[in-house]
Amino acid sequence: MFGALFAGPLFASAQSTSGNTTSATSATTATGTNPYCEQYLQDLAGRLNVSVSTLQQDKLSAREDVLAQMVKDGKLTQNQANAIIQKLENHQACSGTGKAWGLRIVVSSLKQYVPQMESQVASGLHLSVAQLQSDLKSGMSLAKIAKQQNVSATQLQSTVQSAIQNAVNQAVSDKNLTQQQGTDFMQFLQQHPGVLHLILNREFKNA
């Protein structure tokens, strides 16, 4: 619940302060706002017959109520809740490129290709898929498994990137992703190589 309510806005806020990332969508304006997000807010506010500013304030108040309940239930400390509230208050609506939202869409679309990626990565690590899954579920990371298998970090990175690229190509061919989505996703992964392992560590464990 926490991630669904707050992770998106906080991630978008963090992305908007980073000057070294490229836009994940060509539909972002020069001012760094997401026009689709703005359209959504305006449409929702119109359907509720309130102003966008009132809608935004009500959303913030509702989040603060949830945070207060989480503190009461012992899920968060008051200091943690206060820090989240401050970030939410400082976050400008629809700022950033929408990269977090786009990333989640692509990752979700690639889930059906996890067996294909698993097979390729396992082969690169000289393991069966069953052994790779077992090692990951025991708490080992891909990096640690690679070291154990005498596979260099460079070789692992190449294997992982190739596996994801092949999955992306298949998803585009199957029309589950657009070519632009696939290109943007691979560019993002090249700029953030650690994300490759985070995605696969999580998805392979859950396979």
Helix (H, G, I), strand (E, B) or coil at 93: coil
Which of 75, 97, 119 finishes a domain? Answer: 97
Give residue 88's pLDDT band: very low, low, confident or very high (50, 70, 90).
confident
Q: Are residues 191 and 111 part of one domain? A: yes
* pLDDT for 5: 41
pLDDT tens for each residue of 14-45: 333 333 333 333 333 344 677 888 898 999 99
Helix (H, G, I), strand (E, B) or coil at 51: coil
The answer to whether residue 196 scores a pLDDT higher than 80 is no
Distances in Å between the alpha carbon of 98 and those of 12, 79, 91?
A: 7, 28, 13
Mean pLDDT across the chain: 80
Q: Are residues 189 and 148 part of one domain? A: yes
Torsion sign, CA atoms 125, 131, 136, 139:
negative
Q: Are residues 197 and 114 part of one domain? A: yes
pLDDT tens for each residue of 43-61: 999 999 999 999 989 998 9
Total domains in the chain come to: 2
More confident: 177 or 6: 177
Question: Does 189 map to a domain?
Answer: yes
The answer to whether residue 8 scores a pLDDT higher than 80 is no
Give the domain range for residue 46.
2-16+34-97
Question: Does 26 map to a domain?
Answer: no
Q: Are residues 142 and 48 part of one domain? A: no
* pLDDT for 44: 93
| Contacts of 14-17 spanning 24+ positions with Cβ under 8 A | 15/96, 15/97, 15/99, 15/100, 16/92, 16/95, 16/96, 16/97
pLDDT tens for each residue of 134-148: 998 898 988 899 999
Average pLDDT over residues 61-86: 91
- Distance, CA of 59 to CA of 62 (rounded, Å): 5
Q: Is 64 exposed, middle or buried (0-12, 13-18, 19+ CB in 10 A)?
A: middle
More confident: 158 or 11: 158
Which of 71, 97, 123 finishes a domain? Answer: 97
Helix axis angle for 114-124 and 193-205, nearest 10°, is: 110
* pLDDT for 21: 36
Identify residue 191 by its one-letter amino acid code: Q
* CB neighbours of residue 164 within 10 Å: 21
Contacts of 101 (CB under 8 A, 6+ apart): 8, 12
**66: which 2 tokens?**
């949830």
Give residue 130's pLDDT band: very low, low, confident or very high (50, 70, 90).
very high
- Distance, CA of 118 to CA of 17 (rounded, Å): 35
